[in-house]
Chain A
Amino acid sequence: MATRIPTTLACLLLATAAQAEDLTIATATGDVTVASGPETIAVLDAAAIDTISALGVTVNAVPAMPPLPYLSDVFEAAQPAGSLFEPDFEALAVLGPDLIIAGGRSSTQVESLSEIAPAIDMTIWGEDMIAQAQDRIAAYGAIFEQEAMAAELSAALDARLADAVAAVEGQGEALILLTNGGNVSAYGDDSRFGWLHSALNLPEAYPDLTEETHGEAVSFEFIAEVNPDWILVIDRAAAIGQDGEAAAATLDNPLVASTTAAQNGHIIYLSSAPLYLAGGGVQSMMLTMDEIIAGFAD
């Protein structure tokens, strides 16, 4: 019953707050009216769990998903609610949440979920990820009556972004690569990782890369031909073993070694789980930007 204690505490805290009122917030599917101060919540998207827990709000139910080390306490304290793609409707019905927050991989289930409780789609996808992330922070701040905390988070994200923009300015062009076993795909500025180019004003080494959820499969010859000044690496297979280790083995070859990036030691291995699974979450974005600031400072 250890999991009950934080829930009870949250209930007590919320009970002292103002009476629930209806408010209108921006979601991925347009403006939606929800009641503020929900006591029990189920959150089915990693980016949403990331931002909501950063606001100090207890999440009562989460989907089973690959581990995100920085959110492990949140996941341990919450009940399981199915998988990222397939919510466990029975468990959710038993939980009886006041609000269900879906997004990304669970966004297709919003309609069915809304039969259990008010459900909103808080997907973060496509252009201007930072603005979307800021919108979500504001919306969650309003819903959970944590406006002050939300303003603080917002300001922190902006400050970190400014640092990151300053860190990459004038340092040359970058290529985002995702490694998966021995294969490599490249991502452009309108991909899921595109905000690393657009928000940070980091020029693309190969501007023709087009919108593709899973990137473009490329050969090592392509990397050598593009010859980027910087290479940002996301290791898809890093769920096992250490982040970056397998990716480094994949990229350790004469063709990659011939690039400007490799010769100047400008290959940055990003922590893949936050970026890949919780992209758009405020803690995830701050973590990624920290890694970029550190990488470009060397």
Chain B
Amino acid sequence: MALRLGIILALAALVVTSLSIGAASLWSGDFDAAWLIAVSRFPRTAAALLTGAGLALAGVIMQQSVQNRLVEPGLTGTPEAATLGLLAVTLIAPGTAIFGKMTIAAASALAGTFGFLALSRFVPRHDPMLLPLVGIIYGGILGAIGLWFAWNADLLQFVGIAMLGDFSGVMQGRYELLWIIAALSGVLFLVADRITILGLGEDYARSLGLNYFQTQMLGLVIVAITVAVVVVTVGSMPFVGLIVPNLISRWRGDNIRANLWVVALTGAALVLASDILGRVVRYPYEIPAATIFAVFGAAVFLWLLYAPPRRKPQLDGDRRKPQLDGDRKGPQNG
């Protein structure tokens, strides 16, 4: 109860802070405060919240789908594939409207995620580190292909900036696609139970009567669209999908239906906090939220790896299922 209240209060405080901090002065009289909030502050706040919530939820789906807690959409080649699609459409038809770009980025993100899934079937499950490593290599290969095209077209810095999640360009008319994430989250809440079962592994899930393949596809389509929307509108945000679900799972166990909203709110709060910090550290200039989050995320990730478990997960499931917070003390015991 305290946790829920704490998250909601923290989130409310962050939203108020975010609405009142920015390069333009809200109260100097140069601008109409209501206009400034409507045009700039509210869109930016909403974008950070939607991005954080969407990526954290995408992390949950991804981890359940491949039954590995160390995997997140950022480690499965998904953003690289989305960027590749974005790059292709930028090169072939630079004038394409944002929705067209988004659709192509989502399609290529989906293809990239399927590629990872196909690869994951060949990865031995005895060491939980193997799958993320395969994902990093796979993403690296996709990224290298994108880099090669970008280098040839003199778009290296374009890609560099597109890949770095940053809310400084967000304003009215620039972020509305992110509301798709809100709709996708709604779908996710409806199928939360199935996603939980997905995490038990294919054999268990099938014996419980779940259409395993269909559920996995649905989950991955949600992941791909979420990541594509985020990459196209704000850029890629690493670590969110990795650390938020793990943090929540550590506190509350693995009942996904009960956890989803906590995961979403925590992801939203952390990304918004990163954006606020990025706005303040070098005021009035900006530091990308992704940079701030990566520093914070790396620290939390190390803590997650090495801190002793707080409690055993409620759903232990398949013993092959790799766990961060099970009885293992660290990766070296894997």
- Which residues of A approach B to under 8 Å, CB–CB? 66, 180-184, 216-222, 224-225, 227, 236-237, 239-241, 245-246, 250, 253-255, 258
Contacts and interface: CB of A to CB of B under 8 A. Distances in A.
B99 interface: no
Interface residues of B, number: 35
A182 B31 contact: no
B298 to A, nearest CB: 21
Interface string B134-173: 0000000000000000000111011001100010110111
Nearest to B22: A221
B311 interface: no
B295 interface: no
B94 A183 contact: no
A218 B39 contact: no
A218 B286 contact: yes
Contacts of A218: 23, 168, 284-286
B147 to A, nearest CB: 14
Nearest to A238: B154
A184 B286 CA distance: 10
B169 A240 contact: no
Contact of A184 (B157, B169, B174): B169
B169 A182 contact: yes
Contacts of B94: 240-241, 246
Contact of A239 (B24, B36, B154): B154
16 contacts: A180-B158, A180-B161, A181-B169, A183-B168, A217-B166, A218-B168, A219-B169, A219-B279, A220-B171, A225-B24, A225-B25, A225-B30, A227-B30, A240-B91, A255-B24, A255-B39
B112 interface: no
Contact of A181 (B162, B279, B282): B162
B260 interface: no
B157 A217 contact: no
Contact of A217 (B22, B171, B172, B288): B288
Given A182-B174, A221-B40, A224-B23, 6 more contacts: A219-B22, A221-B23, A221-B36, A227-B30, A237-B158, A246-B94
A264 to B, nearest CB: 17
